[in-house]
């Protein structure tokens, strides 16, 4: 596999919403490259006609009764939030214009 | 030996019997463990937080039930160490991450509720690698735990706080979660029994998700029977987890009792060549292979037929795992967005959500979590998905087929639980790949979703070695039956349980 550059790692960090430092970019670029190189050999297995697996016991169409049940209490939920206002989560601005 | 130290050295079965007969109260048992934590956990750092009031209240409730003549469950009043990945209503839960420091969950996990309903006393929440990513607890956001056999060594991970607590005399029972080996590996390096149930056998509702197609909670104990009793307490179908298996819990307690008689006549034991066998011993310590080999000879002495089996795709398990687990983690950990719970950094009224989110995640996540999120982001990105995640999921199928073929020739498969004894703290922290190798033997059963147990086989250089026993899906009882036979034969030969050889500090 191609080597992962510092810029590649910066792009991944942006996609993953991680404000990594310059120092970390240097460290992670080397480490991620080693890790990805070592796992790339999964591609060596001939598996074109092999179906993927996700569960030891295949399950389909899982449903449960459409019945009322207990739900979380809003006060308890909002008490655990980093910021709440007027019974809702308070969020920083989500659009890219200045406030 | 004081009365209090005999209470903390006993098995769960012994402690439950003392409580049921009225010889000691559940409150006395809990207080003895709280005292032990106060004196010893400074050195072990098994617990992130101790719930003194909650534990004493739960114990008193058991004593009140007994006084009222109500029937008690088989583990009523027995204390337990709960891994901090399991949410507990009203009790701080962090999953070992600073990003969740101070978070008070508004609900109980299904297994928390089942533990409470059984009258088991939750002493507190145990340390772990951050979001269960690691094999040593050194990735915890709150400092590492220490192995009670040698405080300079790791107690395994990611469930290393629970293993340190149970081996170190702080709790007779523990709960761990196993995504790639995080119950079996810490059990092995601390001289405990630890079982990873069949995927779907124990509800994941209320476990803070790491890799959803692999995560599975399970029990730690000092004996196979204790471990089986805790397994039966937490297992079983749960409508709150759509991957939960709608089938009866395998009869693991009956199997543990039957196995203790020590008869394995007619059982076919498959030794997996690719896990430390001839030509595949690189990275395995000779002392580990010797100890496991002796346990296999013990099985033969109990009447088992030993065969060698080959599972050619197990060599790809590490690579497949380190694509699947980070991919699912990068998706699961997207929920830490600085909005609904946990940390928020940089919200100055000017910065937008994207920037606040990135600053928060940067400040709240440790290096291993960041590495895995970025690997997963890469493996799931357009153009790489099929080559990495898709291909890894196909390799899982091939590993499952290897298991199916091997289970045609053998009833259970065996291997070392981990290639080495507990390594020194700090030995692998700069080398992620060396750390990942601790999971070499446990990953195949994780990827196939099949059950596997680790049971002590002996010591190498004075440190515990674990034997892994793997069984087909839903045949968890087979793991327990064979483990109990090995345990009783080895205990008889040694004259005492292995844990009694733990050095007294």
Q: What is this model's ipTM?
A: 0.94
B272: phi then psi, degrees, rounded to nearest 5: -80, 115
Reading chain B (505 residues) residue by residue, the pLDDT tens digits are 445 667 999 999 999 999 999 999 999 999 999 999 999 999 999 999 999 999 999 999 999 999 999 999 999 999 999 999 999 999 999 999 999 999 999 999 999 999 999 999 999 999 999 999 999 999 999 999 999 999 999 999 999 999 999 999 999 999 999 999 999 999 999 999 999 999 999 999 999 999 999 999 999 999 999 999 999 999 999 999 999 999 999 999 999 999 999 999 999 999 999 999 999 999 999 999 999 999 999 999 999 999 999 999 999 999 999 999 999 999 999 999 999 999 999 999 999 999 999 999 999 999 999 999 999 999 999 888 999 999 999 999 999 999 999 999 999 999 999 999 999 999 999 999 999 999 999 999 999 999 999 999 999 999 999 999 999 999 999 999 999 999 999 999 999 999 999 997 6
What does the domain layout of chain A look like in residue ranges?
6-43
> Could you tell me the two tokens for B74?
């088989």
| CATH code 1.20.1260 for A6-43 | no
Partners of residue B196 on adjacent β-strands: B452
What is the dihedral angle through the alpha carbons of B386, B388, B391, B394, rounded to the nearest 10 degrees?
Answer: -120
Q: Which of B216, B312, B319, B335 to mutate to test the interface with A (most CBs of A within 10 A)?
A: B319
Which of B435, B139, B138, B456 lies closest to B147, judged by CA?
B138
Output the pTM of the full model: 0.97
Closest approach of A87 to chain B, Cα-based (Å): 13
Considering CB atoms only, which of B243, B318, B341 is closest to A80?
A: B341
CA atoms of B296 and B294, how far apart (whole Å): 5
Contact criterion met (CB < 8 Å) for B323 and A24? no
List for chain B the helix, strand, coil content (%; round to 5).
45, 15, 40
pLDDT for residue B1? 40
Cβ <8 Å between A39 and B323: yes
Distance of CA A41 to the CA centre of its chain: 24
Distances (CA, A) of B504 to B59, B148, B150, B168, B462: 28, 9, 10, 10, 13
- Partners of A97 in the beta sheet? none
* Best CA proximity match to B112, nearest among B182, B188, B26, B54: B54
Tokens 């500090």 correspond to what residue? B505
Instruction: Say which of B313, B319, B330 has its CB closest to residue A38.
Output: B319
Q: In whole angstroms, what is the distance from residue B295 CA to residue B457 CA?
A: 6
Q: Which residues of chain A are within 8 Å of residue B400 when distances are taken between CB atoms?
A: 53, 56
User: What is the residue whose two structure tokens read 């074109």?
Assistant: A48
Tokens describing residue B281? 């011993």
């Amino acid at each position: 596999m191609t080597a992962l550059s510092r810029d590649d790692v910066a792009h991944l960090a942006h996609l993953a919403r991680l404000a990594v430092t310059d120092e970390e970019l240097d460290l992670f670029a080397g480490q991620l490259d080693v890790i990805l190189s070592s796992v790339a050999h999964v591609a060596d297995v001939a598996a074109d006609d092999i179906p993927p697996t996700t569960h030891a016991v295949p399950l389909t169409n899982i449903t449960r009764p459409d019945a009322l049940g207990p739900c979380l209490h809003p006060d308890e939920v909002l008490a655990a939030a980093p910021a709440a206002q007027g019974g809702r989560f308070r969020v920083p601005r989500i659009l890219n214009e200045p406030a | 030996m004081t009365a209090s130290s005999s209470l903390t050295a006993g098995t769960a079965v012994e402690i439950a019997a003392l409580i049921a007969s009225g010889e000691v109260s559940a409150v006395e048992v809990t207080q003895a463990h709280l005292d032990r934590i106060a004196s010893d956990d400074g050195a072990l750092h098994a617990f992130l937080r101790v719930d003194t009031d909650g534990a004493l209240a739960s114990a008193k409730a058991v004593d009140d039930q007994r006084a009222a003549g109500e029937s008690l469950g088989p583990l009523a009043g027995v204390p337990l160490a709960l891994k901090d990945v399991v949410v507990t209503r009203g009790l701080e839960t962090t999953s070992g991450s600073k990003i969740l420091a101070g978070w008070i969950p508004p609900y109980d996990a299904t297994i928390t509720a089942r533990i409470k309903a059984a009258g088991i006393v939750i002493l507190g929440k145990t340390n772990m690698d951050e979001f269960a990513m690691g094999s040593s607890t050194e990735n915890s956001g709150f400092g590492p735990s220490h192995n009670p056999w040698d405080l300079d060594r790791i107690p395994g991970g990611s469930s290393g706080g629970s293993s340190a607590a149970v081996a170190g005399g702080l709790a007779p029972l523990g709960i761990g979660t196993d995504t790639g080996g995080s119950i079996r590996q810490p059990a092995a390096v601390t001289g405990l029994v630890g079982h990873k149930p069949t995927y779907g056998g124990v509800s994941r509702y209320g476990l803070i998700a790491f890799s959803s197609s692999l995560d599975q909670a399970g029990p730690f104990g000092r004996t196979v029977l204790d471990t089986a009793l805790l397994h039966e307490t937490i297992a079983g179908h749960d409508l709150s987890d759509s991957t939960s298996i709608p089938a009866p819990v395998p009869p693991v307690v009956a199997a543990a009792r039957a196995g203790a008689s020590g008869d394995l006549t007619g059982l076919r034991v498959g030794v997996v060549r690719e896990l430390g066998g001839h030509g595949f011993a690189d990275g395995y310590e000779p002392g580990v292979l010797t100890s496991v080999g002796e346990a296999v000879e013990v099985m033969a002495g109990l009447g088992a037929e030993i065969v060698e089996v080959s599972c050619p795709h197990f060599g790809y398990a590490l690579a497949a795992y380190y694509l699947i687990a980070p991919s699912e983690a990068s998706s699961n950990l997207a929920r830490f967005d600085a909005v609904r719970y946990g940390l928020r950094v940089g919200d100055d009224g000017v910065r937008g959500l994207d920037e606040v989110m990135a600053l928060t995640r940067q400040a709240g996540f440790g290096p291993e979590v960041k590495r895995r999120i970025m690997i997963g982001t890469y493996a799931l990105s357009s153009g790489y998905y099929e080559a990495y995640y898709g291909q890894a999921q196909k390799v899982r199928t091939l590993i499952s087929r290897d298991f199916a073929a091997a289970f045609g020739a053998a009833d259970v498969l065996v291997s070392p639980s981990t290639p080495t004894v507990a390594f020194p703290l700090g030995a692998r922290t700069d080398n992620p790949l060396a750390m990942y190798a601790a999971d070499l033997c446990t990953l195949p059963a994780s990827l196939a979703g099949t059950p596997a147990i680790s049971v002590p086989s002996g010591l190498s250089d004075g440190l515990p070695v674990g034997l892994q026993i793997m069984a087909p899906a839903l045949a968890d009882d087979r793991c327990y039956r064979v483990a109990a036979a090995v345990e009783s034969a080895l205990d008889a030969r040694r004259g005492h349980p292995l844990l009694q050889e733990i050095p007294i500090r």
